[in-house]
Chain A
Amino acid sequence: METRKITKVDLIFEHIDPREVLVKAYKLGSEGIIQEMLDSGVKGRGGAGFPTGMKWKFCAAEPEPEKYIVCNADEGEPGTFKDREILDRVSYKVFGGMAIAARAVGARRGYVYLRGEYKFLMPQLLMELDGFHKMIDEIGYDFRIEFKLGSGAYICGEESALFESIEGKRGEPRNKPPYPTKCGLFGKPTVVNNVETLVNAVIIIKYGSEKYRSMGTQFSTGAKVFSVSGDTPTPGIYELELGMTCLEFVKEFGDGDAKAVQVGGAAGFCVPRKAFAKTIIGFEGVPTGGSMKLFNSSRSMYNVLHNYLDFFAEESCGQCTPCRIGTQQLLRGVEAVKRGEMKSAYLNELVKLAETMKISSKCGLGQSVGNAFNSIVENFREEIIY
């Protein structure tokens, strides 16, 4: 397997002249942009990792004249705080990525769905948006962006629940298919991308797909912004090339006593010390939306797990059975085992239940509860029981 040493880069937050990139994108046109995106190999930075170029290509192919670009800024994954920083420091690149996407698929309207707790950014963002609109008008883009504030539900970061929320409905995921590129916001073809993905589009257009591909690995091209937190002397936001191992990461950011890293937040995986060396951070290993939380030996993994389950039992939209009740059963189940009310073998039933949730839940939330649950229970079973 191909791995990389820790390489810090500065592309996301670097200040550039957006006009130059947008003029270039405008001239490239739909096919040119999509080809660059496909060639770059960039995958979605929200965590799911769908190839962005493919997404744009599907949406561009839809004959419907009314299309939307949606920026998913509902950053709610526990331990993730990179999108806030990006919006705070280089929002013009986010808007720029949306304009490029709009040019690529033929959309004239865009929405930024901003996490409710980030409301304090709004005055600044709106001001910057005004300037941005003027600039793209001059270049020739026919595109307008609007803001929509979330109301605090984690599930609204799920793309179809996000659409429902923008439409003024209760934020609940839809059945898929149809996928957003065919039937998304207001029933129209829609591209929905994470904040960071959109900035990556600007980087790709500016530097070209070839240069972009030179970073990262074959399956995880480019760099990624990581939110590092937990037991680390240097918490913060770091832009790193993809492809490093967990061991390299821990050497750089750990406090020398790391026993586990939770990669990808509550919906991600727990990597124990014994697996640090063989675990690649990237789409060929453990994918992440950016959250990297380190735990040292002073931490109870039962408490960590309980915290995540508590979170899921509250943040499940409640619509589908496996997720609504499964999250409660996992939570109450580990409590009962801890208290000795259920035998430790009951954990095996719960692991099976988590597998069922993975394969039968309606959306990514319920499908990913089992990631954290099973990886923590399998690796720290004794901490859960005793």
Chain B
Amino acid sequence: MINLTINSNPVAVPEGWTVLQAAEKLNVRIPTLCNHPDLCVAGNCRVCVVEQKDARTLIASCSQPATEGMEIMTNTLKVRNARKHIVELLLSEHRADCTKCYRNQNCELQALANEFAFGDHLFLDLVGEHEHLIDRTSASIIKDDSKCIRCQRCVRTCTELQKVSAIAVSGKGHEQKISTFHDRPISHVVCTNCGQCVNRCPTGALTEKTYIDHVWDAIYDPSKKVIVQTAPAVRVALGEDLGYDPGERVTGKLVSALRQLGFDYVLDTDFSADLTIMEEGTELLTRLKKALVDGDKETSLPMFTSCSPGWIKFIEHKYPELLPNLSTCKSPQQMFGALAKTYFADNVKVDPENIVSVSIMPCTAKKFEANRPEMRDSGYKDVDFVLTTRELAIMIKQAGIDFRRLDTSNYDSVMGESTGAAVIFGATGGVMEAALRTAYEIVTGKEVPFENINIMPVRGMEGVKEATIKIEGCLKEWSFLEGAELNVAIAHGLTNADKVMSAVARGEANYHFIEIMACPGGCIGGGGQPIPTSTAIRQNRIDAIYAEDMSMAIRKSHENPEVVAVYKNFLGEPNSHKAHELLHTHYVERMRY
């Protein structure tokens, strides 16, 4: 242990801890800005400087390791003056139109300014010195350099967590900025639209493109029927933007709020998540049969899940040679969209032309996905507008809804029925678990051999998880699988996805089925979720997801009565011709640079 004092109070910390961590242990708060719990230390904003006895300069507490006998002072005049200067400097290059900013009242620079830099500006305004272009080219993300304070959290996120490096630092001195490859628009570089940078930007420099006003217009258009679907991960995170602690489940209130906002039908993406399991599970079993029994060399294994649009764009850019391994299933959002303007329209007898289909997603990449040219199989744009969890919270506030006092209510039907299997799509490993619950039962007629059908090996926050499921007691038509060991892998965060993909590409991976989610923790850690984020917050949301699963009466996708009905009345059977037309898609090879 290392012994040091902070503001004369002794503290002992393990070797390798920073001064900042030591201060946290003593509950001494040191302000930070470029520091983020998910990212490596940068030490570039200098807001966290503190004084060390007998040192020539102040030290950055986030990057300075604690050493034996150190005497640290966090609140001397020298420190205060330096901090004030640093915050004033940041403000002088930041376009502070706070009242109109998307991040107003949830901005880390604003919070620091309130503490250290109120009153008149100390320095000259430098914002006008630079030409700032706002990049609105992406369907998902807006980048406004005039609000950027160069903390490089986004750069570290894109590089470390996602291994995408769509954004990087360019230029030096007064020309230094966060830029893209050759300064191209975001829509024209290798960006997966995952939005993890948005989640970690301390200011309003990176935000999602909002469609709130489009949705309000639709709601108030009397000629339109507006239907809304909500993704599984929204119900365990929305509360955070409305004053609840992380991990609070607000499903019933969410439904009531959407109704009060004026949506004509409040439906659940869970329904199409269950449908995805039927389609994807069948596709997997078919591929296994082709490969193992028919000896078809053309069949690509392992098969990859295709629910996460950030992941889809990643593989399209980086591993196009592996696209045949990607399940052809659309994501639940897009399956829902395709059925909304066909099956659902028939059901409620509304001309699909007059349906506006909205989705509430934990995701920024879903905005891009809904705008893909492939996603018009209903004959219309399958999903018209995608809102993030954060945008929904804004709408709820705009409508003056007292969320806490709302009664709970249930989703409409059809396409509003959910199962536990669908809910866990929101957590890493969830799609795998849901698929195994169904596929195992299709093949053997028995439940998966885990207590309470909770498949614990595929759960948890480890970056890459592996599991092997032995298939025993097969039904007759599946006897070729008797005794087979199904090897599965699960990765979340694109850096982990890349690890698995490079192993697959090298032929070193012995998997049959791989689940990939672009975001850390899965959808609950999505780029559209409430800010801030950290491992602890994501864990709380995951705990809530599994609690929701346990609370459901039905916990297996194939038992969802609405799913049974849609096959009986509309689609026929899984992977039928009609199902292929509406629920499956194809992918495109994209440039690597």
Contacts and interface: CB of A to CB of B under 8 A. Distances in A.
Interface of A: 153, 155, 170, 172, 175, 177, 312-322, 324-329, 332-333, 336, 342, 349, 352-353, 356, 358-362, 367
Interface in B149-168: 149-150, 152, 168
A313 B45 contact: no
A342 B121 CA distance: 13
7 contacts: A155-B172, A318-B171, A318-B173, A321-B47, A325-B92, A328-B93, A359-B58
Contacts of B90: 321, 325
B173 to A, nearest CB: 4
A359 B85 CA distance: 12
B123 A362 contact: no
Contacts of B89: 321-322, 325-326, 329, 353
Contact of A332 (B60, B124, B168): B124
A55 to B, nearest CB: 18
Nearest to A336: B124
Nearest to B93: A325
Interface string B21-53: 000000000000000000001011111010000
Given A317-B173, A356-B81, A361-B46, 13 more contacts: A175-B64, A177-B65, A316-B172, A318-B150, A318-B174, A321-B149, A324-B174, A333-B123, A352-B81, A353-B85, A359-B57, A359-B82, A360-B86
Interface string B174-198: 1110000000000000000000000
B536 interface: no
B399 interface: no
A329 B82 contact: no
Contacts of B484: none
Contacts of A356: 81-82, 85-86
A327 B123 contact: no
Contact of A322 (B81, B86, B171): B86
B126 A358 contact: no
Q: Please indicate which of the listed interface residues A170, A328, A358, A361 has the most CB atoms of chain B within 10 Å of its own CB.
A: A328
B81 A329 contact: no
B116 to A, nearest CB: 13
Contacts of A333: 123-124
Instruction: Give 10 nearest A-B pairs by CB, closest first.
Output: A318-B176, A175-B63, A325-B89, A356-B85, A175-B43, A316-B173, A314-B173, A359-B57, A320-B44, A360-B82
Contacts of B78: 359
Contacts of A314: 172-175
Contacts of A153: 172
Q: Please indicate which of the listed interface residues B41, B44, B57, B171 has the most CB atoms of chain A within 10 Å of its own CB.
A: B44
A172 B171 CA distance: 11
Given A170-B169, A329-B126, A332-B126, A324 B150 contact: yes
Nearest to A332: B124
B213 interface: no
B124 A329 contact: yes
Contact of B176 (A324, A342, A361): A324
B173 A327 contact: yes
A349 B169 CA distance: 30
B129 interface: yes
A328 B43 contact: no
B591 interface: no
Contacts of B86: 321-322, 356, 360
Contacts of B134: none
A183 to B, nearest CB: 12
B172 to A, nearest CB: 5
Nearest to B65: A177
B122 interface: yes
Contacts of B168: 170
Contacts of B45: 320-321
B123 A315 contact: no
A318 B82 contact: no
A333 to B, nearest CB: 6
Nearest to B56: A359
B418 to A, nearest CB: 48
Q: Please indicate which of the listed interface residues A175, A312, A332, A361 has the most CB atoms of chain B within 10 Å of its own CB.
A: A175
A359 B59 CA distance: 8
A317 B43 CA distance: 14
Nearest to A312: B173
Contacts of B64: 175, 177
A360 B63 contact: no
A353 B85 CA distance: 7
Given A314-B172, A316-B173, A349 B122 contact: yes
Given A333-B124, A349-B122, A317 B82 contact: no
A175 B49 CA distance: 13
A16 B122 CA distance: 59
Contacts of B173: 312-318, 324, 327
Nearest to B78: A359
Interface in B69-103: 78, 81-82, 85-86, 89-90, 92-93
B92 A329 contact: yes
A320 B44 CA distance: 4
A362 B172 contact: no
B85 A322 contact: yes
Given A318-B171, A318-B176, A329 B123 contact: yes
Contacts of A322: 46, 85-86, 89
B172 A367 contact: no
Nearest to B169: A170
B17 to A, nearest CB: 13
A139 B572 CA distance: 85
Contacts of A319: 44, 150, 152, 169, 176
A153 B124 CA distance: 27
A367 B57 contact: yes
Contacts of B85: 322, 326, 352-353, 356, 360
Given A349-B122, A353-B123, A360 B49 contact: yes
Given A322-B86, A325-B90, A362 B60 contact: yes
Contacts of A327: 173-174
A12 B47 CA distance: 45
Nearest to A311: B173
B174 A328 contact: yes
Given A329-B89, A356-B82, A321 B57 contact: no
A328 B129 CA distance: 10
A51 B45 CA distance: 31
B169 to A, nearest CB: 6
Nearest to A366: B46
B46 A358 contact: no
Nearest to B91: A325
Contacts of A336: 124
A361 to B, nearest CB: 7
Contact of A315 (B82, B124, B129, B172): B172
A318 B173 CA distance: 4
A360 B58 CA distance: 6
Given A356-B85, A360-B57, A313 B46 contact: no
A175 to B, nearest CB: 4
Contacts of A342: 124
Contacts of A353: 85, 89, 123
Contacts of A177: 64-65
Q: Please indicate which of the listed interface residues A177, A319, A342 has the most CB atoms of chain B within 10 Å of its own CB.
A: A319
Contacts of B150: 318-319, 321, 324
Nearest to B130: A328
Contacts of A352: 81, 85
Contacts of A329: 89, 92, 123-124, 126
Contacts of A317: 172-173, 176
Q: Please indicate which of the listed interface residues B78, B81, B86, B123 has the most CB atoms of chain A within 10 Å of its own CB.
A: B123
B403 to A, nearest CB: 38
Contacts of B56: 359
Nearest to B90: A321
A219 B86 CA distance: 36
Contacts of B171: 318
A304 to B, nearest CB: 19
